[in-house]
Chain A
Amino acid sequence: MKKHSIFLCLLLPAIVSCGRPASEQQPAAATIQIKGSDTELNLVQRLAEQYMKKAPDARISVTGGGSGTGIAALINKSADIANSSRAMEQSERDQAKANGVDPWEVVFAMDGLSVIVHPSNSVASLSLDQLGRIYRGEIKNWKEVRGPDAPISLYGRQSNSGTFVYFRKTVVKGDYSTAMKQMNGNAQIVEAVKSDKSGIGYVGLGYIKDRATGKVISGIKALTLGGPGPALSPLDPTSISSGKYPLLRPLFHYTNGKPSVTVLNFIRFELSDEGQSIVEHEGFLRVNEEYQKQNSSKIGS
Chain B
Amino acid sequence: MTLLQATDLTRSFRLPGPLFGRPRLLHAVAGVSLSIAAGEALGLVGESGSGKTTLGRLLVGLLPPSSGSITFNGAPLTGPHRLIQMVFQDSAAALNPRRPVGQSVMLPLRWNRRLAAAAADTEARALFARVGLAPENFFARLPNALSGGQRQRVGIARALASSPSLLIADEPVSALDVSVRAQILRLFAELAAEHALASLFITHDLGVVRAVTQRVAVLYRGRVVELGPTAQVMDTPRHPYTQALRAATPIPDPERPRLAPPRPPEAQDLPGCPFRARCPVAVERCAIAPALREIVPGHWAACHLAQPSDGAEGAISPGSRPR
Q: Do A and B bind each other?
A: no
